[in-house]
């Protein structure tokens, strides 16, 4: 604008006119913004505009309902009581006596200490016959397996940490040293594990027989390495039993040998051909639906393929709902068989149009449904049979994690020990039994009366 004091009258008038125009323009802009703010506060405006909702009216807070049960740890019987009191007054220094209980705090500690016991054997001679007599040492008295130096509690702890906790041998040595300054070599830990496995031979054999005689078994296999060579870890599972076995082969001879050629139960498995020898099969639906989902993702631009996959998934949901509706009806009941045949007809109707269509992306899945039609809905006719193989998948998961940690086993004996101990500890876990308790019962069996 220059210097206003030296400006002429005409220049001053022009400056005033320009300022008046700016003021009028700004006032118009302010009015537009105020109108927009009012519209936004009312929640109006066109689509895509930001709406500012009015503040909510504060609700009256209701009185909180007191719980009938407090989910806190109950206080336990104290083994030791420690009293804490101020001996002198912090202000004047006078000695304080007496007092009363103000509050109580309970602390739970786990005390683990090393204990070395010398069992001294005394020889005595009979004064009449002159014979020398020595006492017969029982495992229940010495609390040790055989002639080992380490007791059953140490042996049980090693087996539980290595198999149940998936802890490497080196870490077990460190834990034992920190807990009780117990120095154990790698070889001794391996011998302790082998000892548990040897004592459990009858229990493992009985476990295998229970799996063979079960009405329904879930089976699966995964990779395992022995001495750097690839092999396979086979698993056979029931709701209360777990059985593992290692073999270099993935052929049908392995499950046939474990379950027996005369296996009369129903085997739940995926679509791997090694299980085809079994008389009664229930194929895993999640495996089928997983492959179908992949087909749908690869053909998202083809609505008929996506619709077919959704129909297959809906059929499985319908089968599960049917099982719930049938409730407690026994296996192979007339109504169960009727529903199974109905579902098989629905599956056949869904798969037949695409089984021979070379241009259909779902052709292979449709052929699989038709080839295994009578193995898809066994769980409808028999409530003891699961329609999925989730039990096997979950049971194999700890072994897979252990394989990633250790890389497998180093010898056939090591594989046999691990398979046997995994079978035992997983079975005890499924039955709600403690690992330490189970190992001690194996190592120190109660003598028959």
Burial class from Cβ neighbours inside 10 Å (0-12, 13-18, 19+) for residue 110 reads exposed
Comparing CA positions, the residue from 383, 382, 396, 313 lying closest to residue 350 is: 313
230 is written with which tokens?
A: 């690839």
Name every residue whose Cβ is closer than 8 Å to that of residue 145 and which is 6 or more positions away in sequence.
Answer: 139, 152, 155, 195, 199, 443, 444
Is the per-residue pLDDT at 263 higher than 90? yes
Comparing CA positions, the residue from 361, 363, 367 lying closest to residue 348 is: 367
pLDDT digits (tens, 9 = 90+) for 202-233: 999 999 999 999 999 999 999 999 999 999 99
What pLDDT shows up at residue 200? 93
Spatial separation of the C-alpha atoms in residues 231 and 246, rounded to whole Å? 7
User: Residue 285: pLDDT band by 50, 70, 90 thresholds?
Assistant: very high
Mean of the per-residue pLDDT values for the chain? 89
pLDDT digits (tens, 9 = 90+) for 405-446: 888 999 999 999 999 999 999 999 999 999 999 999 999 887
Comparing CA positions, the residue from 235, 165, 231 lying closest to residue 409 is: 231
Burial class from Cβ neighbours inside 10 Å (0-12, 13-18, 19+) for residue 15 reads middle
Is the per-residue pLDDT at 119 higher than 80? yes
User: Residue 48: pLDDT band by 50, 70, 90 thresholds?
Assistant: very low
pLDDT digits (tens, 9 = 90+) for 354-383: 999 999 999 999 999 999 999 999 999 999
What pLDDT shows up at residue 54? 58
Question: How many CB atoms are located within 10 Å of the residue 44 CB?
Answer: 10
Comparing CA positions, the residue from 130, 183, 155, 200 lying closest to residue 417 is: 200
Which letter does DSSP use for residue 375 in this model? G
Burial class from Cβ neighbours inside 10 Å (0-12, 13-18, 19+) for residue 385 reads buried
Question: How many CB atoms are located within 10 Å of the residue 308 CB?
Answer: 24
Which letter does DSSP use for residue 316 in this model? H
Burial class from Cβ neighbours inside 10 Å (0-12, 13-18, 19+) for residue 130 reads exposed
Which of 3-12, 47-56, 265-274, 397-406 is least confident?
A: 47-56
Spatial separation of the C-alpha atoms in residues 378 and 370, rounded to whole Å? 15
Name every residue whose Cβ is closer than 8 Å to that of residue 97 and which is 6 or more positions away in sequence.
Answer: none
Range among 122-131, 132-141, 196-205 rated most confident: 196-205
- Extended strands (E) in 45-126: 124-125
Is residue 159 a contact partner of residue 192, using CB atoms and an 8 Å limit?
yes
Q: Where are the alpha helices (DSSP H) in 128-281?
A: 139-142, 152-159, 169-180, 186-199, 201-212, 253-259
What pLDDT shows up at residue 2? 57
């Amino acid at each position: 604008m220059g210097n206003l004091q030296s400006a002429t009258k005409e220049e001053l008038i022009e400056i005033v006119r320009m300022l008046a125009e700016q003021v009028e323009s700004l006032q118009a802009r302010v009015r537009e913004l105020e109108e927009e703010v009012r519209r936004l506060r009312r929640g109006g405006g066109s689509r895509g505009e930001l709406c500012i909702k009015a503040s909510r009216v504060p609700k009256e807070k209701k009185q909180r309902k007191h719980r009938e049960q407090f989910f806190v740890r109950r206080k336990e019987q104290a083994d030791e009581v420690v009293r804490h009191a101020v001996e002198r007054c912090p202000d004047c220094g006078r000695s304080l006596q007496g007092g009363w209980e103000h509050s109580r705090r309970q602390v739970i500690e786990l005390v683990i200490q090393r204990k070395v016991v010398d069992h001294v054997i005394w020889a005595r001679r009979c004064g009449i016959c002159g014979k020398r007599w020595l006492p017969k040492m029982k495992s229940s008295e010495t609390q040790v397996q055989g002639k080992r130096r380490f007791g059953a509690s140490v042996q049980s702890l090693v087996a539980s940490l290595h198999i149940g906790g998936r802890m490497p041998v080196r870490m077990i040595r460190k834990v034992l040293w920190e807990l009780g300054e117990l120095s154990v070599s790698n070889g001794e830990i391996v011998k302790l594990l082998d000892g548990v496995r040897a004592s459990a031979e009858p229990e493992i054999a009985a476990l295998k027989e229970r799996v063979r005689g079960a009405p329904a078994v879930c089976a699966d296999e995964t990779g395992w390495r022995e001495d750097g060579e690839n092999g396979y870890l086979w698993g056979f599972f029931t709701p209360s039993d777990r059985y593992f076995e290692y073999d270099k082969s993935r052929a049908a001879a392995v499950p046939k040998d474990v379950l027996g050629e005369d296996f009369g139960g129903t085997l739940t498995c995926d679509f791997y051909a090694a299980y085809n020898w079994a008389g009664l099969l229930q194929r895993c639906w999640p495996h089928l639906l997983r492959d179908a989902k992949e087909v749908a993702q690869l053909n998202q631009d083809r609505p008929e393929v996506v619709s077919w996959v959704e129909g297959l998934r809906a059929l499985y949901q319908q089968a599960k709902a049917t099982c719930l509706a049938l409730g407690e009806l026994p296996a192979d009941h007339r109504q169960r068989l009727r529903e199974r045949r109905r579902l098989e007809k629905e599956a056949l109707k869904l798969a037949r149009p695409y089984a021979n269509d070379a241009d259909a992306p779902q052709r292979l899945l449709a052929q699989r449904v038709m080839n295994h039609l009578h193995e898809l809905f066994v769980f409808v006719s028999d409530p003891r049979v699961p329609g999925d193989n989730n039990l096997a998948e979950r049971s194999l998961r700890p072994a897979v994690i252990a394989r990633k940690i250790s890389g497998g086993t180093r010898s056939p004996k090591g594989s046999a020990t691990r398979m046997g101990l995994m079978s035992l500890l997983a079975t005890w876990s499924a039955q709600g039994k403690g690992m330490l308790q189970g190992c001690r019962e194996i190592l120190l069996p109660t003598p028959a009366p």
